[in-house]
Amino acid sequence: MKRLSDATLAEAGPEVGRPRYDRAATTIGVVHFGPGAFHRAHQAAYFDRLLAADPRWAICAVSLRTPDVAEALRPQDGLYTLVELGEETRVRVIGAIREVLVAAWEPEAVAQRLASPDTRIVTLTVTEKGYCLTPQGWLDHDHPDIVHDIANPTRPRSVIGWLVEGMARRMAAGLPPFVTLSCDNLSPNGPKLQQAVVALAQYRGVELHRWIGATAKFPATMVDSITPATDDALRTRVTGLLGLEDAWPVQREPFSQWVIKDDVGPDRDALSVVATLTDDVAAWEQAKLRLLNGAHSTLAYAGILRGHQTVRDAMADASLANFVRAMMLEDIAPTLQPPAGLDVHAYVEALLERFRNPAIEHRLSQIAWDGSQKLPIRILGTIRATLVAGRLVGRLAVPVAAWMRFVVRQAGAATPLTDPLAAPLAALGKACGGDPAQDAARFLAFDAVFPREMAADGRFVDAVVGAYARLPELPA
């Protein structure tokens, strides 16, 4: 069967949407690090819409190390299929990606692209672990990639190192810095990225350090769209719809949101066409991280322990669905300061409907990845706020205890964890003997995840021990 490409796109089925612009006439104005499924389903789709009116927004997609995306998309001229799964399925070929690079293989090409006068925006979806931060949110100067980048600044490994190298080349060329948009669930993502870049830049000299700190923009953002992993079933479905082979299609729900702090420089008017610009990203982000992502992690860990495979399956479990709804409305919502225009109750009900989407096969195992990085952002902040307010944390302790039980289960089955702290967590899980108090104490002493003051709070400890003992049963 023929492969999707510029040459074959015209042969795709008539119901398939196509780029509404001349790809050959576009200019690469965006460099994106981490072109996984979420970027291609989210930001790239936004830029694809923008390209219909403005040819300056094509994307250079950069993988830091692995060649998988390049090997899939280069033979397709960067084209791929986006399937929106809802009551009606919509299929669209995205043409925004014009170039795919692998930084480990083509470092000079990446550096030149960052330094190009045409590059105005750099976006990132490298997950929380890609920022090389300490648990406190500062640049980890002892991280192996950062140690390497300090010693080899012009051939970096980390995305932080690449941003510094790109800025250095722009300063030397007399160009303004690009605007950098973190699109990861790292709260607050823009300021944390900025401090990491500025901290690493100090090793390149005072002038660059000051120039980045004074002139570069790192607006905070919030992104939202449920994006299940690509599987063979999707590839088969897309082949049937296109009549062409697509090596790496992506899928997501119809809902998609991109909120950006209104500090994006001269391209404000262009970005405002596709994104929501606001002065209160933090409020939008907090609602999303605590309600959507916190509920997702709860469904993942509790759902896996109760024998479920997908979010949809977990939501069909009435006890679990009712538990999550109560947690969202009665425990998480009181910790929020909603932005203007957000009806929290309506937002919760809309999220629950999204979780029930019959067309989405969002695997709980995928959501369970990187729990050591996600729990502090998605759950522990809510628990801290609840403790400060003097409210009970019984329900909120459930996802924490369920994660602990999940780690123990994986370790006992010798199943590898997908987590940057996989090795110490596996050892921790193997050391657990089943006693709720002792097992919980082992985990709570792991300060790479749990702040010491929280681990020492008797209210939280008791709630975690109680939840650990009851699971997979849930409190009323």
DSSP lists the bridge partners of residue 328 as none
Q: Is the pLDDT of residue 165 over 80?
A: yes
Tens of pLDDT, residue by residue over 412-461, are: 999 999 999 999 999 999 999 999 999 999 999 999 999 999 999 999 99
28-76 per-position pLDDT tens digit: 999 999 999 999 999 999 999 999 999 999 999 999 999 999 999 999 9
The Cα 204–Cα 211 span in angstroms is 11
What are the strands of the beta sheet with 121-124, ordered from one edge?
97-102, 58-63, 28-33, 121-124, 179-182
Q: In the sheet where 250-252 sits, what is the strand order?
A: 90-94, 80-84, 250-252
How buried is residue 55: exposed, middle or buried, by Cβ count under 10 Å (0-12/13-18/19+)? Answer: middle
For 217, other C-beta atoms within 10 Å of its C-beta total 16
**pLDDT recorded at residue 355:** 95
Confidence at residue 465, expressed as pLDDT on a 0 to 100 scale:
97
Give the residue carrying structure tokens 């690079």: 101
Nearest to 227 by CA among 399, 373, 39, 452: 39
**Residue that is written with structure tokens 């067309």 in the block:** 359
Which pLDDT score is estimated for 87? 81
Distance CA 122, CA 63 (A): 13
**Is residue 166 left, alpha or beta, with left meaning phi > 0 and alpha meaning psi from -120 to 50?**
alpha
In 3-state terms, what secondary structure has residue 453?
helix
Q: Which domains are present in the chain? A: 9-278 (3.40.50.720), 282-470 (1.10.1040.10)
Nearest to 322 by CA among 474, 433, 200: 474
| Three-state DSSP state, 113 | helix
Q: How many CB atoms lie within 10 A of CB 119?
A: 21
Q: Find how far residue 423's CA is from the centre of its chain.
A: 23
The fraction of the chain above a pLDDT of 90, given in percent, is 91
Contact (Cβ atoms closer than 8 angstroms) between residue 305 and residue 409: yes
pTM exceeding 0.85? no
- Distance separating alpha carbons of residues 293 and 300, to the nearest angstrom: 10
Buried b (16+ CB within 10 A) or exposed e, 438-470: ebbebbbeeeebbeeebbebebbbebbbbbbee
Q: In the block, which residue shows the tokens 């950098």?
A: 180
